[in-house]
Structure 1
Amino acid sequence: MMALIDALALPNTRGRVPLIVAQAVDALGTGLFLPFAVVYFHAAKGIPLTTVGAILSVAALLSLPAGPLTGQLVDRFGPRRVVIASLLIRVLTFGGYVFADVPWQLVVLVTITLWGESMFWPGAAALVAQVADDGQRVRWYAMERALRNVGIGVGGLVGSVLVTWGGTGGYTAVVLLNAISFLAAAGLFASWRSGEPPRRADGRPRERGGYREVLSDRAFLGVLTTVCVFALCDLALTVLMSAYVIEARGLPAWQPGVLFAINTALVVLAQTAVAGMIERHRRTRVLQLAAGIWVVSFALFAMVPSGDAGMALGLLALGMVVFTVAELLQAPTSSALTVAIAAEHLRGRYLGLEELMWSVARVMAPAGFTWLLAKGPVLPWLALSACCLGAVLVLRRLERVLPGHARRETAGV
């Protein structure tokens, strides 16, 4: 058994199984609803698609402060409590979706939902940093990502069956099952006590600090720049790819589904193994490599022809494999780098600002990618490539200004 665990580069999970199951349940519920988020409000509520898009954009803007606020909550109350609160918030909002049927109500509910979602990610990342054994943080983040992809994939399949056979009632079932999954995950986190931070032996109060201290960390400001760049790269898969393949290149509508399947399969099968390969390498170097590999994938996507569907699929599939390799390197490494830089008593604030960069990218990506795509099919890939090359330069400079302990640390220490 230990040989298999080492071969798959899995972390030590003894005493932490409820944490893993809770994250898997959360991912399963998310997968139920995620593929149908836009369609649900249109098909089940009769709201025009343009209005749905406006609702989601407004809600995303209103939820931007959630990340920094969550950072304060994590540092004050601990990550487990914040994660439980984020799940309970979404239990209430998804229950509310069933009864809401006018746009202003949905703006309120979606905004609160996004606040809950933005609370979950810094809380979960801080919880993993708190409970992971020395040297295993990257393994934990990698396993978490693989589990999330499995859960989202299975949830998406179940949701598809419900929607296909149940019609409007199927959409309602998907929403309610998602709420139930969040409630079950909250119960699992609440029943698990191992994640509580130990009290100081000398009885003195915990150290305090604020965002002024975090924002004075020049190295971390550089890290935040790269987080935003990598978030845009990641969002290219969900926001840009389908429009590029179908609209810009005029290729069959089934091809994006194949590309998503390739990406999901590779993440599930290879994420933990890749984490094991990179855990002894300097994090900044791993992220530079990821950025360079992303540039190669964007070049392959840009070369996709419009006329030949077979050749186009071959280039797209190759590009997706290369794209996913970059994801496998970057995803578990970025949060591990943030945790390595952060002082323990400010860890939540560091991760909260990391989530803010993701939120900013989610706001920028739809408008930015579609505008560039309208100007020319190749322009989004050129812009992303330029951003990645800029990230490489920032990361090279970071190697000289990182705190000594963070520069020496291997992933997970």
Structure 2
Amino acid sequence: MAVIDTLGLPNTEGRRPLIVAQVVDALGTGLFLPFAVVYFHAAKGIPLTTVGLMLSAGALLSLPAGPLGGRLIDRIGPRSVLVASNLVRVLTFTAYVFTDTPWQLVVLVTATLWGDSLFRPAVFALVAQVADDGHRARWYAMDRSLRNAGIGAGGLVGSTLVGWGGTSGYTAVVVLNAVSFLVAAGLVATWRRTAVLRPVGDGSAPVAKDAPEQPRGGYREVLADRAFLGVLATVWVFALCDLALTLLLSAYVIEARGLPAWQPGMLFAINTVMVVLGQTALAKAVERHRRPGVLQVAAVLWMVSFVLFAAVPGDHVGLAFGGLVLGMVVFTVAELLQAPTSSALIVGMAAGHLRGRYLGLEELMWSLARVLAPTVFTWLLARGAGLPWLALGLCCLAALVVLHALRRVLPAHVQRDTVHA
């Protein structure tokens, strides 16, 4: 236990099937994620512009999934929603193999994204139920570390399959992804909910921690929480910051600065290694600090990283790469601070019977950022290499102001686990 605590890992006794399910899910996601666009073009013969429209349409049509999923979580419990989200994706990825009609694929992409949007809040809500008191941030950190490791490993396997099998390799990637979702659903569904118990009253009558609570409120009650609306604003800002890694950085390095195409890959590798090796330890290091304060530090670090990215020269490859590496290290530390802290803060603010709705609105903010970011980032980049980084820095500055106000109004047990929730 001493080694586990030193690494910042939570107590996993009685909950290992849930962890294995997350790893399997991440491996499957890693198989397909790098080829999400190329698959429809190379294996289905659909023009790239049409693929882009398909994915954008699916993203727009899946916007309601987060709020509706939050309502379901509060009504039937996060485990049932988690299993359902995996089964939805089993069906959609299986169906991908048997159709190449664009309108049918739009329907399948939309259903897949609905499954994704149900999955994330359900996972966070289930973790909130099974985590030991005061260790929720550790669970969120471990989940993120495992997902990054699984996605990285899955990406390597997927690249091997595609390189070896061509079109058949793409089909194998899709089928294996469907299988991974099925295995994950089975592990969660068969996990014994009596494995982790919480005492009730005087402690003499334990009940399962993942038993769904009866809903006693709705979104009107959630939206009346003005502090939570402030947190949602910061979630949207930090989602844009996070998406800059996948949607902006490569285009900036290669197109705007004219640097070699190998540099973004190296930067992504640095990010992945840091997340896998450092996420849980850093989450443990800051768990006694106020969560809004930790998020403020993350915002400042993101601003520093954006300045470093914007300042890289395009006429000196070595110097530019050094600046990009430094910027990526600072960027990743900001990520490591923000991701588990934001989730723990939102769960800490939510009453148990409304937890799904709180998390559903968090997912909505991420979905809105995913819809907006590609268009805004590319529009700004076309008008000036430094403009996207300037815009993101100003957003972080606004988040700093909101978080400063939240530090004054949020209860102590929400800001940090000085009182067990």
Same fold? TM cut 0.5: yes
Question: Tell me, what secondary structure is at the counterpart of 2:97?
Answer: helix
* Cα separation, 2, equivalents of 1:407 and 1:160: 43
Residue equivalent to 1:362: 370
How many percent of aligned residue pairs carry the same amino acid? Answer: 73
CA contact (8 A) 1:16 1:194 kept: no
Q: Which residue of 2 aligns with 1:298?
A: 306
Q: Which AA in structure 2 matches 1:73?
A: L
* Structure 2 residue 77 is the aligned partner of structure 1 residue 90: no
**Is 1:136 matched up with 2:135?**
yes
Q: CA deviation at 1:409?
A: 3.3
Partner of 1:62: 61
Q: Does 1:112 align with 2:120?
A: no
- Deviations along 1:12-48, one digit per CA (max 9) or x if unpaired, are 0000000000000000000000000000000001111
| Residue type of the alignment partner of 1:142 | A
CA deviation after TM superposition for structure 1 residue 193, in Å: 2.6
1:272 pairs with 2:280:
yes
Matched positions, count: 411
Return the letter of the residue paired with 1:149.
N
* Range moving further from structure 2, 2-11 or 327-336: 2-11
What SS is found at the alignment partner of 2:289?
coil
| d(CA) in 2 for partners of 1:230, 1:330 | 8
Tell me the residue number matched to 1:312. 320
1:98 and 1:198 map into 2 onto residues whose CA distance is 44
CA distance in 1, matches of 2:334, 2:361: 23
Structure-2 change in CA distance of 1:234 and 1:158 (3 Å) = same
Q: 1:137 touches 1:411 (CA, 8 Å); kept in 2?
A: no
Equivalent of 1:282 in 290, 298, 303 = 290
Letter in 2 for 1:254: W
193-202 or 388-397, larger mean C-alpha shift: 193-202
Is 1:223 the counterpart of 2:231 in the alignment?
yes
What amino acid does structure 1 have at the position aligned with 2:314?
S
Instruction: Label 1:402 to 1:384 Cα distance change in 2 as closer, same or farther (>3 A).
Output: same
In the alignment, residue 158 of structure 1 is paired with which amino acid? V
CA 128–150 in structure 1, closer or farther in 2 if over 3 Å, else same: same
How far apart, in 1, do the equivalents of 2:418 and 2:327 lie?
29
Q: Which residue of 1 aligns with 2:163?
A: 164
What's the counterpart of residue 145 of structure 1? Answer: 144
What is the match of residue 210 of structure 2?
Answer: none
Cα pair distance change 1:154/1:408, threshold 3 Å: closer
Residue 16 (structure 1) aligns with = 15
Query: Are the counterparts in 2 of residues 279 and 410 from structure 1 also a CA contact under 8 Å?
Result: no
Inter-CA distance 199–51: structure 2 relative to 1 (3 Å threshold): farther
CA pair 280-42 structure 1, distance change in 2 beyond 3 A:
same
Which residue of 2 is the match for residue 253 of structure 1? 261
Q: CA offsets, 1:370-408, max 9 Å, x none?
A: 000001000000000000010010000111222454245
CA separation in 2, counterparts of 1:42 and 1:36? 10
Normalised to the residue count of structure 2, the TM-score between the two structures is 0.95
- Relative to the length of structure 1, the TM-score reads 0.97
Cα deviation for residue 206 of structure 1 reads 2.8
Displacement of 1:286 in angstroms is: 0.2
Cα drift, residue 342 of structure 1: 0.4
- Is 1:44 paired with 2:43? yes
Could you say which residue in structure 1 is the equivalent of 2:250?
A: 242
* Distance in 2 of aligned mates of 1:262 and 1:31: 17
CA spacing shift, 1:303–1:113, aligned 2, 3 Å: same
Per-residue Cα deviation, 1:238-267 (whole angstroms, up to 9, x for no partner) = 000111011111111111100000000000
Structure 1: which amino acid aligns with 2:342? S
Tell me how far apart the structure 2 counterparts of residues 137 and 122 of structure 1 sit (CA, whole Å). 14
- Equivalent residues of 1:200, 1:206 under 8 A apart: no
Tell me the distance in 1 between the aligned counterparts of 2:148 and 2:393.
26
Counterparts in 2 of 1:221 and 1:184: CA distance versus 1, 3 Å: same
Q: Alpha-carbon deviations, 1:59-96, whole Å to 9, x = none?
A: 00000000000000000000000000000000000001
Cα distance in 2 for partners of 1:393, 1:53 equals 36
- What is the rounded CA distance, in whole Å, between the counterparts of 1:307 and 1:52 in structure 2? 35
Whole-angstrom distance in 2 between the partners of 1:411 and 1:285: 18
**1:207 CA displacement:** 4.7
SS in 2 for 1:99: coil
The alpha carbon displacement at 1:198 in A equals 7.7
* Structure 2 CA distance for partners of 1:378 and 1:241, relative to 1, 3 Å: same
- The answer as to whether partners of 1:305 and 1:312 remain within 8 angstroms in 2 is yes
Runs of 4+ with deviation above 6 angstroms = 195-203
User: Which letter does structure 2 place at the counterpart of 1:28?
Assistant: L
Distance 1:136 1:248 in 2: 43
State the alpha-carbon separation in 1 of the partners of residues 416 and 285 from structure 2: 17
Q: Is the 8 A contact 2:345 2:415 kept in 1?
A: no
**Structure 1: runs of 5+ lacking an equivalent:** none
Match of 1:331 in 2: 339
Q: How far apart, in 1, do the equivalents of 2:15 and 2:126 lie? A: 11
Look up the equivalent residue of 2:95 and give its one-letter code.
G
CA shift for structure 1 position 274: 0.2
Give, in whole Å, the separation in 1 of the partners of 2:244 and 2:269: 15
Does residue 344 (structure 1) correspond to residue 352 (structure 2)? The answer is: yes
Residue 11 of structure 2: SS of its match in structure 1? coil
Distance 2:420 2:85 in 1: 26
1:7: which partner in 2?
A: 6
Provide the rounded CA distance (Å) in 1 between the counterparts of 2:34 and 2:418.
37
The offset of 1:337, in angstroms, is 0.3
